[in-house]
Amino acid sequence: MKEYKAVKVKWDVYLENLNKELDEFTKEGWEVVNVTTEPPNTLNFVVILCREV
């Protein structure tokens, strides 16, 4: 069975926040399924993750 979760990551110019968050999730066994942006006025990425449980 797969477990899914979505997280918001604040946008920054060099994508450091996104890369840091994704590195932490992969260490915990999560796999990135999708990365999307929210509407431009929010400046966030939404990352969909899954892992086998």
Residues in the chain with pLDDT < 70?
none
What percent of the chain lies above the pLDDT cut of 90? 45
CA atoms of 10 and 44, how far apart (whole Å): 5
Q: How far is CA 9 from the centre of its chain?
A: 6
Read off the pTM.
Answer: 0.77
Q: From residue 36, how far is each of 1, 10, 12, 40, 52 by CA, in Å?
A: 24, 12, 14, 11, 22
Q: What CA–CA distance (Å, rounded) separates 23 from 29?
A: 10
